[in-house]
Every structure is written in C-alpha cells, then in structure tokens.
Amino acid sequence: MSSIEHIQKEFEEAVEKVRKSLSSESIQTLKVKYLGKKGKISGLMRSMGSISPEERPVFGKAINKLRDLANDSLQNIQDLLQHQEIEKSTSYSSLDPSLPGHRIPTGAIHPLNRVKEDIFSFFTGLGFEIERGREIETDWYNFEALNIPPEHPARDMQDTFYIDDKVVLRTQTSNNQIHVMESRKPPLRIIAPGFVYRADSDASHAPMFQQVEGLVVDKDISFAQLKGTLYIWVRHMFGFDVKLRFRPSFFPFTEPSAEMDVSCSLCKGKGCRVCSQTGWLEIGGCGCVDPNVFQKAGIDAEEYTGFAFGFGIDRITMIKYGIPEIGLLTANDNRFLRQF
Amino acid sequence: MLISLNWLKQYVNINVSVDELANTLTFLGIEVEEIEQQGADITGVVAAQTLSCEAHPDADKLSICKVNDGENEYQVVCGAPNVKSGQTVLFAKTGAKLTGGFKIKKSKIRGVPSEGMICAEDELGLGGSHEGIMTLSSDITPGTPMQEIPGLCDTRMELNITPNRPDALSYIGVAREVAAFYDQELKMPDLRPPKLDAKQTNKDTITLNIESPEDCSLYTGVIINKVKVGPSPTWLVEALQSIGQKSINNVVDITNFVLLESGQPSHAFDLKKITGNTLFVRRAKKGESVLTLDEEIKNLDERDLVIADNAGPACLAGVIGGETTKVDEKTTSLFLEVAYFSPPVVRQQARRHGISTDASYRFERGIDPLHVEAISNYLCRLITDITGGNWTGETLIAKAPEHPISKKLVQLRLSRLSKILGITIDRSQVVAMLEKIDIKEEAGNDLDTLSFTIPGFRPDIEREIDLIEEVARLYNFNNIPDQLPTFELSPTALPEAERLASQIRHHLASQGLFEALSLRFSSHKYLNNLNLPEDSQLFKTVNLKNPLNEEWEIMPSLLMPGLLNAIHRNKNNRELDCRFFEIGKCFYNNKEDRTDKNPGIIEEEKLIIGLSGSWHSVSWNEKGGVVDFYVLKGILENLFKTIGYPRSSKVDFSIASQPFLHPKESMSVLVNNKPIGWFGSVHPNVLSNFGLKDNCYIAEISITGLLEHASSTPVFKPFSNFTSVTREMNIVVGEGVTHETLLSWMPLSKAKNLEEVKLNSIYRGKGLEDNTKALHYSFVYRHPERTLTDKEVNKIQERIAQELTNRPEVSFK
Ligand SMILES: [Zn+2]
C-alpha cells in the first residue's frame, strides 16, 4: 500500500512542477514516466503477482484509481497548455472593439438605379415587359401621336428642349406607348423607364430626370384596375401602411387623367417639411388611354381599353431615402454616393 | 391663377373653412397650389376706439390719442392726418408683431410716451396705402383681433388650372364648381344691357368686316359716348388690388374686372382714334406692323390676325391692343370689342411675338362662344354706370356662319362608362351629377345611350370619353374601388441592354466603384479641352436650340468630360479618392435616317470608368494602394470575366492612342477584333485643362458595341484532385519584350499537363542592366489522374529553359 501512496504523492508533486512551466515536452515526459509501458504506475501493475491473493482485489482497485487519477491530471494540464497556446496565438495583446476593421473597398449602386431595378423586378414579376425607347424624339412621338397637336396649350405644360423644329429631347416616357402600340398587338403590358428632359432647373426641378411609364392594353382594362395596380405597387415601394389618393388632372394622352399622391412616409401623414405640411407627396400621373391615342396607333378603341401611368423615379428615390434636393442625384459627390 | 376668397364669395356662399374649400377644389380638379391668408403673420392687432385726439405740443403733424381696446385705455402718438376721436381703428398693442416681423415697443415720441400704434393698411399687409390709418365700421366690438373682423383679412389662393378647363379661368367658373359641390346657388351678375336714355341721338356707327371667318367667328362692339375716363371707384380698385393688379383707369379696370369675373376678354378702343368707319378682322399683310400697348413695334405677316382700321392694323387680335387707338384721359367715346377668336390662331401669334396676356391665355384655351353677346351687354352697362357714358343703343355684330349658336350634344353609353371606369353608376346618379354643372340630359334616350347638352363654357367636352371623365371627377376617383386586372401568365425578362447594364452595375459596385449619374448635357468648351484634332467626329455634336446655359449646350458625344468635372469637384471638396463608373448615353447625328418618325440621331449606350487617388482605402495599419494603369486594366479584365465575354467572344487589349490619353499609357479594347472601347491615363494637358493635378485613369466601353458580340454563361470543366507541382523561373529580357511575346517564345503547347503560367513579379533596377527587366514566373503542372513526378516536370522545364536560352534577347537570373 505504501508504495501506491508514495508513487501517488511523487506523481502529484511532479504534476505541480510541470503545471508551473507548461510545455508539451514536459507533459510527454511525465506521461512516459508514470503511464508509459515502463512507467511507474505500469510497474505497480506488474508487481500484482507478488501480492497475496487476499490483498490483490484491494490493491488492484487502488492502482486503477491511481491510474485514472493520473490520466485525469495529465488531461487537465494538457487542456491547460492548449488553452495557454490559443491565448498566445494572436498578434493582438488585447482587442479594441472601437477600432475600425480593415475593410475591402466597396462601392455602391446609385440610389436612383436601386429604385429603378426594384421597380423592374416588381413589374416583370407581374408579367410586364421592359421597353427602352429613345431620348431624342420626333415631334410625332413626343407630341402629335400623344394627342398634343402643334397649337395645343398642353404644349405649355412642359418646357421643351429643341434640337430643331421637329426634333426634341423627349419630355416624357410616353413616347414609348406609341412605339409599342405601333409595333405590337394587344394585349400589352409594358414598363418603359428612361430619362426625360424639361427646360427647367431649380431646387425641385432638374432639366433631366428619370421616369417610368406603364401601359396596359387589353379588352377589359378599367380605371378601377389602374387604381388597384398602382396600389399594390406603392405598397411594395413604401410599405403596407401607405395610403394612395387620386386627384383629377389633365394629360392629353389619357382620359380620365389623375395625379397620384402617397401618404408621406416620413411623418405618416401628419405633415412635415418634406411634404410641405400636407401629409401627401405627389408621385406621378396616370389615367385611361385616350381613344385618340389608340386611333393614332392603329388600335380599335371600341374593342380595347387601357391604362397608363408615369412617375418620376427621382421623386420616389428622394422620398424613399429622404433626399432634400434633386440636384444631389446628379452631383456625383462622393459624400452623397457613399451613403447608399 | 390667383383668386381672392372675398371676391369669390360674391358669387357663391361659402360656409366651410379655407382648408376644406381648398381640398374640395383640388379634388374637383382645380388644384390649390398655395394659400396665402392676410394677417396670418400678425399678432396683437385688435379693433379699438379712439376716445380723444389732441395735438402734440411739440410737433405740428402728430396727435396724442387715447384709445380703448375694450379692456384698457392707452395713450398713443399718431402721425396720421385722418385720425379723429370716436373712430374704430386697428390698434397694435405694445408687443404686437406687424407685417415683415416689425415689433411694436413702448417708446417716447418728441417727449410724449406712446404705448402702441394705430395702423395704416400697408403696415398690416392689407393693401398698399400709407396715406392714413384704417377706419372700421363702428359696430365692430373693440378688442376683436383683426383676423376675426369679417371681410377684413382676405385669403388668396393660387389655382393651377389644367389646359382642359378654360371654364375655371374665371371667378364665376370656380364659383360654379363650388356651388355644384355644396348645393349652393350660383349668384350671377346682372347681364342685361343698360337702360337707354330716350334723348340718345348720337348715331355713330362702325361697320364690322370679318375677312377671316375661320379665325374669328363672332365679333361684337358697342359704342359709348360722353365717357369720362378717370380713377375707378374704390370697390373696383380694391377688387383688382386683392389679386395684386394695379388700377389704370376706370375703362381699362372694368374690362380687366369682367375678364377675371367671367373669363371673357374684351378691348376698348378710343372711337375718335379709329381711322374711317370700318373695322376689319383680317390677316396682316407682310410688311405691316403695329405699335402695341407694351410699347413695342410688332412686325406682322400673313400668319397674324389683326383688328385693322383704314389706316392699318390697330390690334394684335386676342393678344394685345395698339397704341394708336388706346384709351386715355382725353378719350370721350369708346368702341368696346367683345369677340370670339380661334384658339390656335391666338396661341400662335402670342407665341410668335413672345407675349402672353390674360386675354390671350383665355382665348387660346377657349372661351364660351355662346356668352359673347351677353358679356358685351354687361360690360356696356358697367361702363355707362361707372364712367357716365351713353350707349348708342346698338350692339354691332358680325358673325360667321360657322359660329356655334346652340349647345353641343354629346352621347354617353352607360355600358361604356362602366367599361372604362370599372364600376356601374346608376343612370339617375349620372344624370344628377352632370346636371349640377349644367350638363343636361336630353329627352329621347334609350336604355343605354344618353344624350347631353354641353354648355358653351365647356369647350373641352366633345366626346363620350370627356363625359365619362366628368362623371368620374364628380363621383371622386377615390370612391372608385381598387381592382386588379387579370392577365394570362407570361414570363418576361429584362431586355439584353438592361440586363447587361444591371450586371455591370452590380459587379463594379462590388469592386469598390461608385455609380455616378451625370446630367446628359455638355459643352463645346469641354470638347475643346481634349486635344482633339479639328476635324474630329466628336465635334459634330447634337446641339440644343434652347439650352439653359452655355455649359449645357450640346448632348454629349463623349462621357469623359462630365466625369473629369465630377472628379475635379470632388477633389475640391478634399475627396481625393475617386472611383466612379457611369452608364450613360452618347449622341451622334445620322441625318440620312431622318424622317418624320425618325429623329436621325444615334444614341449609344456607354460605360465609363474614372479613377484617381487611392485604390485601397488607407487603414490604421496599412497604406492605401494608389491607382495606376494596371489597376484599371485589372478592373476591366474582371468585368469582362463577370459579364461572360472572354469565353465565346475574344477580348484583346492593344496599344493604341487617343488624343486625350497619355501617349505612353493608353490601350484599346477589342472584342472579336472589333474595337469597342479604350482606356488609359488622362493626358497631362487634358488634366490641366480640367484643373486636375492628380493622375486620372479613364476607360470607356460601348455597351451597344458589346451587345453585338455573344456572351456566355460559364460551363463547368472537370478539375484534377491530384496535387500540383510548381517550378519557378526568373527571366531577364529587354524592356521591348512584352509578357505575351515572352510567353510565345516558350514551347508551352508542348508542355504536357501545364496548368498555368503565373507572372509573380517584374523587377527592374539594381543588379540588372539598364532597359532590362526580370520577370518571375511560376509554372504549375497537374495531371488529371495521378501525381506528377519531379522527373517528368523537370524535363519539360528544361526544354522551356533551353528554348529560351536559344533566344539572344533572353538571359536568366
Ligand atoms: Zn410629411
């Protein structure tokens, strides 16, 4: 018995020593010395033969206990060593959560195009086709075919840039309506995005801005469906609690014509600076396709009806991101672009 | 159109708040853009009574008054000549705020303490007069705030009237809509002609001759003698003043008043100044001219419609009167014109001569053709009443057969109404709604089709769809339910150009670039900055006829100037690191294709990339990398890989110069041997022309050009699971030998199992001769089915080395 107690004591002292200066070598040495094939604990096992049969079970139990204890102690300092090594394996003595990380440079998509792509995915998901038209247009497509004859006062509604008497920078994306209706047969479901131009420039008007035009032509298309379609779209764009309202207006190529307002998402309709205290933001115009437009495009206005809508992507982007001035969108200022 | 609420109330009772009225008008299609309430910015001004009024001991023109505001008595020094005791006045107490933020303080005036101010109308923003204090009716209770005194503070509304609603361009028109909505009576002025003086003897007359009936289908006139031209009565001055118009004289003021009230323009001639006894409504002859009331000579031609006497044109019809027949203080006899001019004619000449008047604005949109004679009667009566003149008793009328004499009939099918609106509205409701705005149902309709007579003041209603719109407007769009269309399912995809643009956009943003977006306007000034040869195609730009300014006079033929300007602006803001890309359009003339339906202009979509400054952002333990030529080339290579071009289409780079790029740092990009773009370092001269100091790197790639070549999606190639064997080689060559040339000297096609040759570094300098460089390559070998042995790899490497040794240009390091 005393030999077991002796070895146990000796082992425990050795473990303490190794614990103070941990290394994988000293642990290994210890392991070999006590638990190796020729180790001291294994030696005790071998000495079983010289023990009387009566004492043998007690002696055997005591050795097993010592072996388990040794195994545990060694595992313990092994874990300790591993833990110390992990702690050491860093180039930082301590971390500073407030230090910025090293960042791979990232860029950004222009907010206007983010909104544009969002609009595309929404409407393509509904089965609309994207149509891209030209920006410099003949008088025919920009005005006449849209029911705006040369001496119509509606021409005053838009300040037009002219290239010559018969060629203009398009003032609206509605020119696409005509191109599409001339080249295809109904049913039509079209989204036509693009830049449009107005000879006007101040804090809320840019001489160039982006519009999206929608056109649906089929046998039973109604104003009620126009309202429903726009309603699901504004909910997609501005959230489920948005409200939409329609005011009578005038566009030569639609009748009835309406302006649409959404409830101000910043003040939830209570009134703020952005919505000029009205609680509403004007986002675009819409209406049923005027029979004259169908006629000019060669579509039977008795058989087919349709609706069209157009809104400024700039305006929607400004509302969505709280951008106060339209000029910021085209200033190409890092301090602006970085924020998106 | 600016209107005064007080004035509007002359024609209809309004019992709702200003905000509610504005909302109602807006939802009737008459958008209220702005509301301006008088007295809104004023506080502390109340009605008060003057109790006494004594002369100031030390000043002739000042009085010392005692006033009572219903609670207290105050002593006030007042300088107005018309102040008296017993008046009800507007009193600003100490602490009151007047118009323009002016604050009333306790003060001493010539030694006498003054505790406030008795106000004149200009101090309260109620008018322009500063001649004396305002006095009110004595039945107003002292202490009443000025904003609550009935009729004192007016409200002005700016209305946005759409071109289809000429009827709303008048007080009566707006009142009609309000009356219909609130079920109120429309109070029309008395339109009867004046009573005739029995002693009327003057039989002056003018012959009216419409020579151009398609331009003017009705021309009427009355002659009024013994007119006294002079100041207008107060009510008339105030009415005009309420919307910011100046009083001129009684005759002119009356015509202006009636125009605003009814929407019908008119014009008064001095009868004695008319040469001869005939007025002609005719087209002008080339070479004729007229001196108009804006004191300008207008040169006329056959396109102009004029009112002419025997001496020639006297007026630009429907637009502006002439100086020669102008009414002034000496005028005693008038010829008063009320007519119907054709909208396009008036619009053309107003535009051609660059003037828009209240008259031309209404004629171009269409006035009520059925009301011309009634307005003539009404005007005649107002003028005789106010100026004391005598009407001859005769209304001169020239009418073309084309002139409408009765209301139009327009049909409406209820089935069509519900098809367009998506809602069924009762026949009786349709009829009732329209009747309120004077659109009346005719007898003899069948079950579906209804006929309506359209009043003359609604020239915009001509078709069934116009009536449907009226019904929808009166029903209120917001009461129409929301429905969704039912469609056949059909898959859609983005158009190629849009898909590619989106892919480029997402890729470059992930590479650290910011998407720019520039106005698509440019200037020759910028093209001149680009070292371009004089005959460069880029100078043949698409030019704007009416640019907003010189900087925006052309449509861009190159995107680079816009981006260089953007980089310049950013650098000025101490934003030194610029990494931009933009997808935009360039415009080129292509006049051969020009037709009525084709503008003859090519629109080419392009991608531009512009870099300057640091590439990697500087961090606290690493330095930023500065942009250079090969950074830009790397961006392009990555881009082409992402968008799928180097696979089925070949992409090459070749040394090629552009006038605006550095001659030693510029390349062309070729897809299937066709150039589609260029890139490089911006030429130092161009940099300085744009005010830039730091190097800039620009690439321009035609997206339209790219789309002509097929791209492809990646196709999986099996790879080996066995380890690779790598060998390295340091090769020294002269500067003239390109990487590509060097590779071509190696027998790589014979190198079995060679997976990749990587260029690790290029070394120049110490240990090397001048004009030479050392290229360090790694050769990676891998077998698909087993591990390669050193021996077989070495054999191949030796062969490569051997071939290179045979080249006199090559040595090893
Ligand atoms: Zn708001």
With beta carbons under 8 A apart, name residues in chain B contacting A229.
484-485
From the list B379, B366, B260, B376, the residue with the least C-alpha distance to B318 is B366
* Cβ pair B421:A222 closer than 8 A: yes
Residue B55 clears pLDDT 70, i.e. is over it: yes
Contact B48, B78 (CB under 8 A): no
> Which residues, 6 or more positions from A65, have their beta carbon under 8 angstroms from its beta carbon?
none
Structure tokens at A67: 């072996």
Output phi, psi for A315, to 5 deg: -60, -45
Q: Tens digits of per-residue pLDDT, B297-322?
A: 999 999 999 999 999 999 999 999 99
Confidence (pLDDT) at B87? 86
Contact A262, A283 (CB under 8 A): yes
Separation of alpha carbons A253 and A286, rounded Å:
10
Structure tokens at A13: 């002292």
Residue A1 clears pLDDT 60, i.e. is over it: no
User: For residue B556, with 0-12 CB atoms within 10 Å meaning exposed, 13-18 middle and 19 or more buried, which class applies?
Assistant: buried
Residue type, A101: G
Output phi, psi for B281, to 5 deg: -105, 105
With beta carbons under 8 A apart, name residues in chain B contacting A249.
29, 31, 162
Percent of chain A with pLDDT over 70: 99
- DSSP single-letter state for residue B432: H
* Cβ pair B579:A163 closer than 8 A: no
Q: Tens digits of per-residue pLDDT, A292-302?
A: 999 988 899 99
Residue B199 clears pLDDT 70, i.e. is over it: no
Query: Which stretches of chain A are assigned E, i.e. beta strand?
Result: 129-130, 136-138, 162-164, 167-169, 188-197, 208-218, 244-251, 254-263, 280-289, 305-312
Element at B776 (helix H, strand E): strand B772-781
Listed by start position, the domains of chain A span 2-90, 111-337
CA distance B212 to chain A (A): 19
Q: Which residues of B718-753 are buried (b: 16+ CB within 10 A; e: fewer)?
A: eeeeeebbebebebbbeeebeeeebeebbeeeebeb
Give contacts of B 203-242 with A, CB under 8 A.
Answer: none
Mean pLDDT highest for which of B115-119, B146-150, B536-540, B714-718? B536-540
Least confident interval from B195-199, B282-286, B578-582, B742-746: B195-199
From the list B184, B153, B187, the residue with the least C-alpha distance to B171 is B187
Separation of alpha carbons B516 and A338, rounded Å:
11
CB atoms within 10 A of CB B92: 25
The number of residues in chain B equals 813
CA of A320 to the centre of ligand 1 (A): 12
What's the distance, Cα to Cα, between the start and end of chain A in Å?
Answer: 78
- Share the mean pLDDT of chain A: 89
H-type helices in A21-94, by residue range?
24-35, 40-46, 56-88
Confidence (pLDDT) at B480? 96
- Centroid of chain to Cα B181: 31
The number of residues in chain A equals 340
With beta carbons under 8 A apart, name residues in chain A contacting B423.
222, 224
> Which residues, 6 or more positions from B560, have their beta carbon under 8 angstroms from its beta carbon?
B530, B608, B610, B660, B698, B700
Confidence (pLDDT) at A20? 87
Torsion over CA: B75, B81, B82, B85 (sign): positive
Contact B318, B290 (CB under 8 A): no
Element at A120 (helix H, strand E): helix A111-125
Separation of alpha carbons A291 and A306, rounded Å:
9
Q: What is the 3-state secondary structure (H, E, C) of B220-254?
A: EEEEEECCCCCCCCHHHHHHHHCCCCCCCCHHHHH
Confidence (pLDDT) at A184? 87
Q: Tens digits of per-residue pLDDT, B761-785?
A: 999 988 888 899 999 999 999 999 9
Output phi, psi for B549, to 5 deg: -160, 175
Q: Tens digits of per-residue pLDDT, A173-204?
A: 989 888 988 888 899 999 999 999 998 887 77
* Cβ pair B506:A107 closer than 8 A: no
Q: Does B784 sit behind a cis peptide bond, omega within 30 degrees of 0 on the bond before it?
A: no
> Which residues, 6 or more positions from B513, have their beta carbon under 8 angstroms from its beta carbon?
A107, B579, B580, B581, B609, B635
Instruction: Please count the CA atoms within 13 angstroms of the CA of B540 that sit on its side-chain side.
Output: 9
Residue labelled with tokens 């300057």: B612
CA distance B571 to chain A (A): 10
Element at B270 (helix H, strand E): strand B267-270
CATH pick for A111-337 out of 3.30.930.10, 3.40.50.150, 3.10.580.10, 3.50.50.60? 3.30.930.10
> Which residues, 6 or more positions from A89, have their beta carbon under 8 angstroms from its beta carbon?
none
From the list B192, B182, B231, B218, the residue with the least C-alpha distance to B15 is B182
With beta carbons under 8 A apart, name residues in chain A contacting B26.
247
Contact status of B466 with chain A (Cβ, < 8 Å): yes
DSSP, residue by residue, B742-759: HHHHS-GGG-TTEEEEEE
With beta carbons under 8 A apart, name residues in chain A contacting B596.
138, 140, 166
Separation of alpha carbons B573 and B419, rounded Å:
58
Q: Tens digits of per-residue pLDDT, B665-711?
A: 999 999 999 999 999 999 999 999 999 999 999 999 999 999 998 88
Contact B170, B260 (CB under 8 A): yes
Residue B97 clears pLDDT 60, i.e. is over it: yes
Instruction: Please count the CA atoms within 13 angstroms of the CA of B208 that sit on its side-chain side.
Output: 23
Structure tokens at A120: 């595309």
- Share the mean pLDDT of chain B: 91
CA of B86 to the centre of ligand 1 (A): 50
Residue type, A92: Y
The mean pLDDT value for B322-331 works out to 93
Separation of alpha carbons A55 and B69, rounded Å:
122
Q: Tens digits of per-residue pLDDT, A11-48?
A: 888 888 888 888 888 889 988 988 888 888 888 888 87
Confidence (pLDDT) at B732? 93
Q: Which residue has the higher pLDDT, A58 or B696?
A: B696
Contact A33, A39 (CB under 8 A): yes
